[in-house]
Amino acid sequence: MSTKAAAPAPGAETSGDTYLPDHGNGGYRVRHYDLDLDYRIGPNRLAATAVLTCEATQALSRFSLDFGEFRVGRVLVEGRAAKYLRRGLKLQVRPARPIPAGAVFRVEVRYSGNPKPVRSRWGDIGWDELTDGALVASQPVGAPSWFPCNDHPADKASYRVAVAASSPYLVVVTGNLMSRHQAASTTRWVYERAEPTAAYLMSVQIGRYDEIELAGELSSPGSGVVQRAAVPPRLRRQFIRDFGRQGRMMAALQGWFGPYPFGEYVVVVTDDELDDPIEAQGMSIFGANHVDGHRTHERLVVHELAHQWFGNSLTVADWRHIWLNEGFATYTEWLWSEESGGESTASQARGWYDHVRAEPADVAIGDPGAARMFDERVYKRGALTLHALRGEIGDAAFFAVVKAWAAQYRHAVVRTEDFVALAEKQAGRSLAEFFDRWLGKFPLPRL
């Protein structure tokens, strides 16, 4: 089973990621984050303490963290004051004593400031202000916008996140709610995320939301998963309609992919519009524009739910493998369309095949390049690859592969070669030529 990304250069301020080497760091892995946040909504002011429990993968005289533009009050390593230097989005730390290879050590960073998104080629990503509240949307590089971290998808850790905010606001964090205590005008919320989680998949949502326990058809018998929502009061009626098949959807996905990988599923609808829905660990976030009372955007609802298996539980070891996230989530849209009485999976595949074939043949989705990580063809050709594999090995073998994929790599990190090996094992023969045509070549193969 794959458990880590390719080894970075010793002590380097790089993850070794082939696409985003400036995000993530070498020399250590984070095992646990303990974040204590005090957030003032009006002035967008954050005062926080982060404690990281790390394991050195080599002897360290210094190391670095990915971190945004905050004022750092102090840095402690194993309780001792450490020297530190800010350089771009890196916090360089030199502990008072060198850290031996294999040692477990704690880093404490106290900081404050006005959180803002990280600028990237995909726009501003991370902690962002809403008209009345805040949200976190971190894929792929936004986690440093609100806490010091090792910002690489393969460095998965557990989390405890405490957030103090004004009491009229609901605070939702990726994880299980452990406590909620109101004192005067402030409420302190404490969440824990026990499952290994990439930094970009952690999220905080703050707004004037109604809490909805997804009941009746929304949590239909057989799904076996607690499902909750945070919704602006003005959108409650439309939400009930648009997410009215959520229980059926969850049950269908568990039938195709195996058990839901987390304890609960939370949906947040912001009172602002968003360009696209956002995935987080055990959570999906939608904009007000994605809720209209007519199920117009139901394909996005199932797409984000599918990411809980493919992207969140199974997380890519390197961003070049992103088709494993988006291809599976897109194919799930097609499966659900047929399951819910809409257009068949085969018809969807034929339609998107013609669409992709009309586009320039200049992307190999097994390694699309950083500039095209989120190209539509990575999504659609990724789904077409899965549909073609289904035709190549048959329905029974295909869904056996998918279930084994989700089970064998549950809460781990994955690469394309892992999926190919699993598919070949189930098929009982080499599929190297098949996957090379679909993932490694520019021209679109015959479907």
Which residue in 195, 304, 333, 339 is the catalytic one?
A: 304
**Residue spans per domain, the chain:** 28-205, 210-308, 316-440
Q: What's the pLDDT at 214?
A: 76
Q: pLDDT-derived band of residue 39, with 50, 70 and 90 as boundaries? A: very high
Q: pLDDT-derived band of residue 12, with 50, 70 and 90 as boundaries? A: low
**Distance between alpha carbon 10 and the CA centroid of its chain, in Å?**
27
Q: What's the pLDDT at 220?
A: 47
The answer, yes or no, to whether residue 2 has pLDDT greater than 50, is no
The answer, yes or no, to whether residue 422 has pLDDT greater than 70, is yes
Question: What's this model's pTM, rounded to 2 decimal places?
Answer: 0.94
The answer, yes or no, to whether residue 168 has pLDDT greater than 50, is yes
The answer, yes or no, to whether residue 10 has pLDDT greater than 90, is no
Angstrom distance (rounded) from CA 383 to CA 390: 11
Using CA atoms of 322, 325, 330, 332 in order, give the dihedral in degrees to the nearest 10: 160
**Active site (annotated) includes residue 304:** yes
The closest alpha carbon to 388, from 313, 441, 340, 320, belongs to 441
Angstrom distance (rounded) from CA 396 to CA 398: 6
Asked whether residue 387 is marked as a ligand-binding residue, the answer is: no
* Residues contacting residue 104 through CB under 8 Å, at least 6 positions apart: 31, 53, 54, 55, 56
Q: What's the pLDDT at 223?
A: 62
**Active site (annotated) includes residue 392:** no
Asked whether residue 321 is marked as a ligand-binding residue, the answer is: no
The closest alpha carbon to 38, from 186, 227, 257, belongs to 186
Q: What's the pLDDT at 83?
A: 97
Q: What's the pLDDT at 15?
A: 75
- CATH class, range 28-205: mainly beta
pLDDT 10s digits, 336-387? 999 999 999 999 999 999 999 999 999 999 999 999 999 999 999 999 999 9
pLDDT 10s digits, 221-232? 446 789 999 999
The answer, yes or no, to whether residue 163 has pLDDT greater than 70, is yes
Instruction: Assess contact for 386 and 331: CB atoms under 8 A.
Output: yes
The closest alpha carbon to 200, from 357, 88, 348, 322, belongs to 322
Q: pLDDT-derived band of residue 5, with 50, 70 and 90 as boundaries? A: very low
For residues 308-323, average pLDDT: 97
Instruction: Assess contact for 5 and 57: CB atoms under 8 A.
Output: no
Q: pLDDT-derived band of residue 219, with 50, 70 and 90 as boundaries? A: very low
Q: What's the pLDDT at 224?
A: 77
> Domain 210-308 carries which CATH code?
3.30.2010.30
Q: And the tokens for 275?
A: 């360009």
Instruction: Assess contact for 274 and 286: CB atoms under 8 A.
Output: yes
Q: And the tokens for 75?
A: 């840095």
Instruction: Assess contact for 90 and 66: CB atoms under 8 A.
Output: yes
Q: What's the pLDDT at 416?
A: 98
The answer, yes or no, to whether residue 143 has pLDDT greater than 60, is yes
Q: What's the pLDDT at 48?
A: 98
Q: What's the pLDDT at 16?
A: 79
Q: What's the pLDDT at 17?
A: 86
pLDDT 10s digits, 266-295? 999 999 999 999 999 999 999 999 999 999
Percentage of the chain modeled with pLDDT above 90:
92
Higher pLDDT, 139 or 3: 139
- Burial (0-12, 13-18, 19+ Cβ within 10 Å), 146: buried
Look-up of token digits 């190209």: 375
Q: List the Cα angle 140/143/146 in 5-degree steps.
A: 155
Mean of the per-residue pLDDT values of the chain: 94
Asked whether residue 307 is marked as a ligand-binding residue, the answer is: yes
CB atoms inside a 10 Å sphere around CB 178: 12
Question: 316-440: which CATH architecture?
Answer: Orthogonal Bundle (1.10)
Instruction: Assess contact for 231 and 209: CB atoms under 8 A.
Output: yes
Which residue in 260, 331, 379, 409 is the catalytic one?
A: 379
CB atoms inside a 10 Å sphere around CB 70: 24
For residues 41-67, average pLDDT: 97
Q: What's the pLDDT at 50?
A: 98
Q: And the tokens for 149?
A: 């971290």
The answer, yes or no, to whether residue 239 has pLDDT greater than 50, is yes
The closest alpha carbon to 175, from 43, 273, 32, 336, belongs to 32
Angstrom distance (rounded) from CA 17 to CA 320: 8
Q: CA separation (Å) from 401 to 346, 395, 431, 445?
A: 19, 10, 13, 22
